[in-house]
Amino acid sequence: MALEVGQVFAGYTILRVLGAGGMGHVYLAAHPRLPREDALKVLPAELTDDPQYRARFMREAELAAVLSHPHIVGIHDRGEYHSHLWISMEYVAGTDAGRLLREHCPAGMPVDEALSIITAVASALDYAHHRGLLHRDVKPANILLTGPDGGPGRVFLADFGIARRIDDAAGLTRTNMAVGTVAYASPEQLMGKPIDGRADQYSLACTAFQLLTGAPPYGGSNLAVVIGQHVSAAPPSIGAYHPELTGLDPVFTTALAKEPAKRFSSCGEFADQLSRHLDGASRLIQAGVDAPSAAPARQRRAARPGVLISTLLGLALLVAGGVFAGAKLTRDRNPVATAGPLSGIFRSDFGAITGPDTAPDPADAATLTATYGLRSVCRSTKCVATASRLSGAPVTAPTLVFDQVGGRWVAVVLGSDQCRGAAAEFWQVVTLQPRPDGTLIGEYTAISGGACADKRTVTFTRTGELDVNSLPDPAGQPPRLASPAEALRGRYQLTRTFNDGTPQRQSYLTVRTDCLRSGDRCISYFHGPTGGLPLVFSGGNWTVDVEDDSTCAASGDTSRVKITARYSLPQPAQDPIRLLTGHGHQQQTGSCAIDADFDETFKRAGD
């Protein structure tokens, strides 16, 4: 359905045509009531006539409308008007990654710029997956790159909320847009199988491959050949395009695995592994160094001018669900770092040790004191700080890295200590909340996988200046990556059902999940008045391995209890996690002896 300039559709006044594709036309339109211009997408009538499609469109658009993430184009409204489904969204200025590759980086982008884009999109996808929404069409054309008012560049993932027939393999060839999607579609999508967030991860890996090389892993004009390669061909070596990137081959082999179970547990883990496998040689690409001459000439990276991404003006194009006009982009992959709010010498006062469920007594005096040097930087709305212990009590690790998360400063590190007479790994977590008087208050917790747990109050008070150059530069820290495990939070009802007839056990516990900055490992500590249960997250699963003495309720005898269990991350992802299920084994001695397998559920009961 083509609309004319000045025509009113669903209350929106059409200002100009922005683009068209297989999924409909996109217009710049004036909002019916607000002084705002939106991107208005009008879908073809044949989609509206499909009752299954209409239902899914309404459902997914509603889910997408509540997404609030710095790297996702916002959805404003959706509806049906004159037998056409429509959706309005944020109007974004910039270019898209696909066009940038074609016009400026035909042999691939500088590694650091590509990694910045991949990390941002991975964060957006994991955020949506946690909330039960899949994208299904991740590709360079749906990644917007923009620099408002010529400022630092930003990354947006467009096209959330546009339901597709991509789960119908035949539908992939129905439109030109679908043809463009095949190069990035997962094997399970192409075969019409059920999909989850790992399908988006596969598409992100195809996109990442193209950002780094200029070509998708499987390409060509013959759809049947491309589909066959996705389904059965081994992932190509990125080192064949740029030998200096050969170290990334294992990462792409995992992310492009034919079986979803063999891929990474999240998009964030894929991005993190890319970052970890990049060696110093690969980063020479950022300076415009050509690949070694042994590489085929057609695959060699072209030399770049000093400013790779120049001013791009006058663009007006469709981005399959997100639309934008031209704007200046900077070459820097991150906004310029500026000095953050935490700087100087701080005295830290730690309170007495309490249990996780014990409320601190404000009258209690500090029992331990230490001095830390802090240095912080901020980029846009994200800040990171490094803290080095200069003197005093060794309560925490010698160095900490804090991230500003939800108005608090959070640091998570791994240390070692004794748990019931044996050496154990401890998760040390420091959370600090700024106060109007300039102090920061919070708590310090130390939790082991063996169920040892301590908590202390902590107060940081600034006492003086110091040479910040004597401290680690936080600007060199990699970005903090979100973990899907962080969705396990709140109050849950635990139900343990034994397979030998032992009476079922139930209890209500509270859990908070804390993750390393890499996002690949986390501790989820369930606790209540009667005790705690630590779940350690890694590789898409939580595990329990605890052993401790307990008391038999009926006889009062001492009982030795050992519990092992495993719980898988729900698919599709949920945020918050509503139901976590797993299986385990419990051995218990004494008059209350048990030696049985069990099934276990954690059902969310509230915040």
Query: What secondary structure letter does DSSP report for 149?
Result: G
d(CA 188, CA 183): 13
Angle at alpha carbon of residue 208, lines to 167 and 378, rounded to 5°: 115
**DSSP helix/strand/coil, 314:** strand
- In 3D space, the residue among 411, 408, 404 whose CA is nearest the CA of residue 378 turns out to be 404
Q: Tell me the three state secondary structure of residue 515.
A: strand
76-to-9, 34, 63, 423, 597 alpha-carbon distances in Å? 15, 12, 11, 54, 49
Q: Do 461 and 392 meet the contact criterion of CB atoms below 8 Å apart?
A: no
5 burial via Cβ count (<10 Å: 0-12, 13-18, 19+)? exposed
CA dihedral 203, 100, 174, 197 (to 10 degrees): 20
- Tell me the pairing of strands 453-464 and 440-448: antiparallel
Number of H helices, E strands in the chain: 10, 28
Question: Any residues with CB less than 8 A from the CB of 501 and at least 6 apart, and which?
Answer: none
Separation of alpha carbons 253 and 470, rounded Å: 41
Structure tokens at 168: 């119908």
Is the C-alpha dihedral spanning 104, 106, 107, 109 positive or negative? positive
Q: 155-192 burial string, b = 16+ CB within 10 Å, else e? A: bbbbbbbbbbbbbebeebeebebbebbbbbbbbbbbee
With b for 16 or more beta-carbon neighbours within 10 A and e for fewer, the 49-76 pattern comes to eeeebbeebbebbebbbebebebbbbbb
Can you state the angle between helices 197-213 and 97-104, rounded to 10 degrees?
A: 20
Alpha helices in 175-327 (DSSP H): 176-182, 187-190, 197-213, 223-232, 249-255, 267-277
Calculate helix-pair angle for 267-277, 197-213, nearest 10 degrees.
30
Q: At residue 486, what is the residue type?
A: E
Please identify which of the residues 38, 112, 137, 520 carries the catalytic annotation: 137
412 φ/ψ angles, rounded to the nearest 5 degrees:
-130, 120
Q: Which residues, 6 or more positions from 252, have their beta carbon under 8 angstroms from its beta carbon?
A: 205, 208, 209, 217, 235, 238
500 is catalytic: no
Half-sphere exposure for 598 (CA within 13 Å, toward CB)? 25
Cβ-based neighbours of 34, under 8 Å, separated by 6 or more? none
Return d(Cα 276, Cα 450) in angstroms, integer.
29
Task: Write the DSSP symbol of residue 32.
Answer: S
Alpha-carbon span 131 to 573, nearest angstrom:
6
Q: Which residues are catalytic?
A: 137
